[in-house]
Amino acid sequence: MLRLFKNKKTNPPPEKDLTGNTLDIQDLFSPEALDIMRDKLYLGADRYSRIYAVYALPRQLRVGWLDDLSRAGDVDISIHMYPAPPGQVVNSLLKLETQSRSQYRLDQESGNIARLPELEAAIADYRALRETVQLGNDNLYYVTIFIAIHGKDEEELRQRSSLVEDILARKGVLHIALAFRQEQALKSYLPLNDLKIMDMARNLTSGAAACCMPLTTSASGISAA
């Protein structure tokens, strides 16, 4: 008897890599949507963001100085910190100290005494830091600080941004909203170790860099967040 229907030869299902069905780190932080505007981002339903960068810090920092920003509401802080090569630091500080000494003598000889106190302070700072690094008692770090502010709508984002700007101004911290650079700021702010904005790094000693670590105050004292 003729077989009108032949059994189809079935191929075994392809083997699947189990790791292909799992989330990676980018999936955890990828926004629902991305609409890049001049100085803010739309990241999906009820999610607007604006990212700032800090470009100048006060002369002295206290421990937990960023805590007030965390208490402002839906605000995230991202800090990139890289150690500077000690040899390069010593050479740079020696060069700056020499330049300041030369300028001090020129101003002194020309009778321009207005800047002398400022130059004296700079010379003392350069010398003290150089000697500390040479002795191995301190290190210098390149630190970049990003502040991401979030809101459910543009009005809430505006109000929270104004509050954060007031807090930073009160602390003597200069900041910039990174207009037309929000996409690069987003990539730099996410915890992916992918710094896209390289021109906002500032030099901090070990003590000053440690002060940038966010802290929370509890009934039992101060603890790292």
Mean pLDDT of 138-166: 95
Mean pLDDT of 52-77: 89
The model carries a pTM of 0.79
Q: What is the CATH number of the domain that holds 192?
A: 3.30.70
**163, 54: one domain:** yes
Mean pLDDT of 94-112: 93
**77, 150: one domain:** yes
**127, 106: one domain:** yes
**146, 207: one domain:** yes
Q: Is the pLDDT of residue 26 over 80?
A: no
Q: Please state the separation of Cα 213 from the chain's center in Å.
A: 11
Number of domains the chain contains: 2
What pLDDT is stored for residue 63 in this prediction? Answer: 87
**149, 165: one domain:** yes
**208, 109: one domain:** no
**62, 149: one domain:** yes
**104, 166: one domain:** no
**78, 174: one domain:** yes
**128, 151: one domain:** no
**66, 146: one domain:** yes
- Asked whether residue 27 is assigned to any structural domain, the reply reads no
Q: Is the pLDDT of residue 220 over 70?
A: no
**65, 48: one domain:** yes
88 versus 27: the higher-pLDDT residue is 88
- Asked whether residue 18 is assigned to any structural domain, the reply reads no
Burial zone of 212 (CB within 10 Å; 0-12 exposed, 13-18 middle, 19+ buried): buried
Q: Can you name the residues that pair with 35 across neighbouring β-strands?
A: 42
Please, what is the average pLDDT of the chain?
86
Q: Residue 225: which pLDDT band, with cuts at 50, 70 and 90? A: very low
- Asked whether residue 208 is assigned to any structural domain, the reply reads yes
17 versus 145: the higher-pLDDT residue is 145
- Asked whether residue 190 is assigned to any structural domain, the reply reads yes
What pLDDT is stored for residue 193 in this prediction? Answer: 86
What pLDDT is stored for residue 13 in this prediction? Answer: 65
* Domain range enclosing 98: 86-135
